[in-house]
Amino acid sequence: METKKINLGNFTAKIIQDEDNQGPREWDNLGTMVCEHRRYSLGDSNHGVDLSSSNSWDDHEKAIKKVFGKDCVLLPIYMIDHSGQSVSTSPFSCPWDSGRVGSIVASRKDIRENFGIKRVTKEKLDHSIQILKGEVETYDQYLQGDVYGYQIVENMVDDEGNEYEADRDSCWGFYGLEIIEEEVNQLLKGYKEEQDKVMEDENQKPKCDHLFGLANLEEEDEFVMVHAEDAIDFEAGNNTKFQFCPMCGEKL
């Protein structure tokens, strides 16, 4: 679904919702999402936590800590289900359509491997918490369809005056409309500057004067117009009139 168009010069960027995105839980994440919901499949499916005996959120967290360790970093995940799903590490204000759906967790081993350290300091713990919150925010964007791609086209006109679009670039998997708009504006600026430079170079080229002379075709009682420099070498039997200047290629 096309979301927005941005025009600059002869170029147009089409920002389109990326409906085929694989999702951020396929990335190399620090955290593991362990979720429980009757209707939706949320978070990571391969978390390795046995939730069969989980009857409360205390049971849920105890089951997680059996796998990830008692000293793991664990944050709750809340969801509101109203005209679509949205998740957060903080509770939503609506008590009717929202509630806790799981946790995001990182073990001390995960943190050490992520930062390449031997000892987990308070600074690294705080940093890990921010990373986990960011992963939930990114997952929220995915659930809400806040993922986009772009297509850049150049608006062209053929020799018969018909307008058409020539593909120039495309890319997908941008999270957040502001992020992709910034990327697209920079690309359009680059394409426009490149086009302006080509036009400037073309304008600096010496113009062809289209000087033509008459060439008498042997054994033919007719003359045709050819470029003056070609008139003396014009071969017999060629009686096709030029549609383009043989020197500069410009249409006549």
Q: Which ranges of 75-176 would DSSP assign to H, the alpha helix?
A: 108-115, 122-144
The C-alpha angle 21, 104, 147, rounded to 5 degrees, equals 20
Q: State the average pLDDT over residues 30-40.
A: 94
Q: Most confidently modeled of 57-66, 90-99, 190-199? A: 57-66
Residues in CB range of 233: below 8 A, 6 or more apart: none
33 token code pair: 């999402």
pLDDT tier, 248 (very low <50, low <70, confident <90, very high otherwise)? low
Residues in the chain: 252
**Distance of alpha carbon 236 from alpha carbon 224, whole angstroms:** 11
Q: Where are the domains of the chain?
A: 20-144, 147-204, 209-252
Judge whether residue 205 has pLDDT over 70. no
Q: Residue 173: which pLDDT band, with cuts at 50, 70 and 90?
A: very high
Among 38, 179, 31, CA closest to 101: 38
Q: Is the dihedral of CA 134, 139, 145, 148 positive or negative?
A: positive
* pLDDT at residue 222 tops 80: no
Token pair, residue 157, equals 């006109």
Whether 150 has a pLDDT exceeding 60, the answer reads yes
Share of the chain above pLDDT 90, in %: 66
pLDDT at 182 over 70: yes
What confidence score (pLDDT) does residue 204 get? 66
pLDDT at 167: 94
d(CA 239, CA 244): 15
Q: How far apart are CA 189 and CA 196, in angstroms?
A: 10
- Kindly report the average pLDDT of the chain as a whole number: 85
Q: What is the pLDDT of residue 200?
A: 77
CA gap 116, 50 in Å, rounded: 29
